[in-house]
Structure 1
Amino acid sequence: MASASSSIIPPPQPPRSSSYSYHVFLSFRGPDTGNRFTNHLYSALDRKGIRTYKDDKKLRIGDVISDELEKAIEESMFAIIVFSPDFATSSWCLDEVCKIIECKNKLGLQMVEVFYGVEPCDVRHQIGTFREAFQKHERKGFHESEKIQRWRDALKQVTAHSGWTSKNHPNL
């Protein structure tokens, strides 16, 4: 796993500020990948001395989750987004993608996409489990078409970049 982790992180770009709290921010849907792929990725990055924000490791009881996550994204050099079948069921995950895109555009945050058990076109076009998740959000009261459209646009922007798919690596 250590060799795979080093190949998915692009070379560093000139820093946007003199210091970062984290080298990498991991965005993932815990029930899908948290105890498997994401834990292995986090461990491999940690062994290499790469400071990585993984919300189940860094959040303290009582923290306001959205504020803490936004701050961690802003203070990271890279974001690795692990898209999985149920990723879009989480409004937190979708909000993270929006924040990552914002920081990419404003602060130069670099990002890497990992498609774990889904195809890039599923995410880009919101088909399959992504379509089902958006339909559920709409039924649950996320009728704010502006918020849903921001999520859709962010997913399209992220998938405009080449990513890494688990399909090409069946042992993951």
Structure 2
Amino acid sequence: MQKVKEILLAQGIEFDEADIVSAASAIGMELDGLNDAEASAIALKVVELKQASGLALSQKDIAAKSRNGNGKLGKNSPRRKSTPPLQGAIAHASQVSNQEIQSLEDVLNVGIDAYTTDKADKLLSTIRNAPKDVVSKFVSKAMEEEADVDSFRAIGDELVAGIFGAQFTNAAE
């Protein structure tokens, strides 16, 4: 407890032993056998509790508490480097994320466009070749049937009517 008292007195902070005991219990430390860092932590907690209870400290006291003796800079130290605001970091991350999404979308659009163009070309080719395929398959089926000329003609008329929607009474005339 003596080390904590010395730190607080050196900084010109008013306190009583109850303040030190409550600060130590608030951060879960025992008052016996404290090292310098632990004593500094308890002293800072005393200051925080005093601020929370409405006892204002002068700027000198606040600046003094930032120098805690362990080589680390306190929160309000003028030598401490400022960190960028959280909003700026969020905006930057959002911008990077949006750029990545746009890049992925561009790649997908190119890939989808190539895929759909290829499928459209294959479909158009299938449609163009359909009459040839129908005739070829018709001839193949007709050869299997070994039917007479009249039956071939009747099947051909049905085929022509089905494909072209035209009705021919006699294709030989």
TM-score, normalising length from structure 1?
0.23
Say which structure is richer in helix. 2
Instruction: Tell me which of the two structures has the higher relative contact order, counting C-alpha pairs closer than 8 angstroms and 6 or more residues apart.
Output: 1
Say which structure is richer in strand. 1
TM-score, normalising length from structure 2?
0.23
Structure number with greater Rg is 2
